[in-house]
């Protein structure tokens, strides 16, 4: 299959290769089209396909990638860290998806904060991101040091940590509640 530069850009735009700009069947994504602008804002759906599962056994944490995605791991062993995008599947209820403000870290001493301004596991879309240190990559298993995910959590995507891109050198600002 031959992909154009546009296809590759669209593929890289979103979690698990899906894009709000018009997903492509050729890269395994399907966009349910909305008819009106209001529907587009509230009723556009993406199909995300898990690429693996988090496995926590004893003191060992592994990202067990499904065998049909094993080829996608080629070269990952050259990196020290990986961003793991996974789904907060244990929180997937309409009620929890409707929570838009929380006290960060469950601490009522912290100010009431919007979920987009913190890492709360309740949010409209239950996508989680963790930066993990890679211990090894063998066949379809990535061993990592730790992850803030439950055993069995579905993995949506992996992206290598690249210092020049993923860590701003200056201008980092944090709210007071996070500094304390």
Q: What is the pLDDT of residues 164-178, one digit of tens each?
A: 888 876 888 889 888
Q: What is the mean pLDDT of the chain?
A: 81
Residue 178's SS3 state is: helix
Is the pLDDT higher at 44 or at 152?
152
In this structure, of 10-14, 93-97, 138-142, 152-156, the range with the lowest mean pLDDT score is 10-14
- Quick one: tokens of 36? 């009106």
Backbone φ and ψ of 146, nearest 5°: -170, 165
Q: What is the pLDDT of residues 12-30, one digit of tens each?
A: 433 333 333 333 233 344 4
Q: At residue 140, does pLDDT exceed 60?
A: yes
Neighbouring C-beta atoms of residue 60, cutoff 10 Å: 10
Own/partner contacts of 90-98, CB < 8 Å, gap of 24 or more, are 90/150, 90/153, 91/121, 91/122, 91/126, 92/126, 96/122, 96/126, 97/122, 97/123, 97/124, 97/125, 97/126, 98/124
pTM (whole model) above 0.85? no
Q: At residue 116, does pLDDT exceed 90?
A: yes
Q: For strand 127-138 and strand 81-87, is the pairing parallel, antiparallel, or unpaired?
A: antiparallel
pLDDT more than 70, % of the chain: 75
User: What is the domain partition of the chain in residue ranges?
Assistant: 1-48
């Amino acid at each position: 299959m031959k992909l154009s530069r546009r296809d590759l850009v669209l593929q890289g735009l979103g979690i698990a290769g899906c894009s709000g700009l018009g997903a492509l069947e050729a890269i395994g994504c399907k966009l349910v089209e909305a008819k009106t602008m209001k529907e587009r804002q509230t009723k556009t759906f993406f199909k995300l396909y898990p690429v693996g599962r988090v496995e926590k056994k004893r003191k060992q944490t592994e990202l067990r990638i499904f065998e049909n995605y094993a080829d996608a791991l080629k070269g990952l062993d050259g990196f020290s860290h990986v961003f793991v995008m996974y789904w907060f599947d244990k929180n997937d209820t309409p009620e929890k998806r409707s929570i838009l403000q929380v006290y960060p870290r469950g601490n009522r001493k912290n100010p009431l904060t919007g979920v987009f301004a913190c890492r709360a596991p309740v949010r409209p879309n239950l996508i989680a991101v963790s930066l993990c240190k890679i211990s090894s990559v063998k066949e379809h298993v990535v061993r990592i040091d730790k992850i803030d995910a439950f055993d069995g959590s579905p993995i949506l995507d992996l992206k290598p940590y690249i210092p020049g891109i993923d860590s701003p050198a200056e201008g980092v600002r944090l709210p007071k509640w996070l500094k304390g």
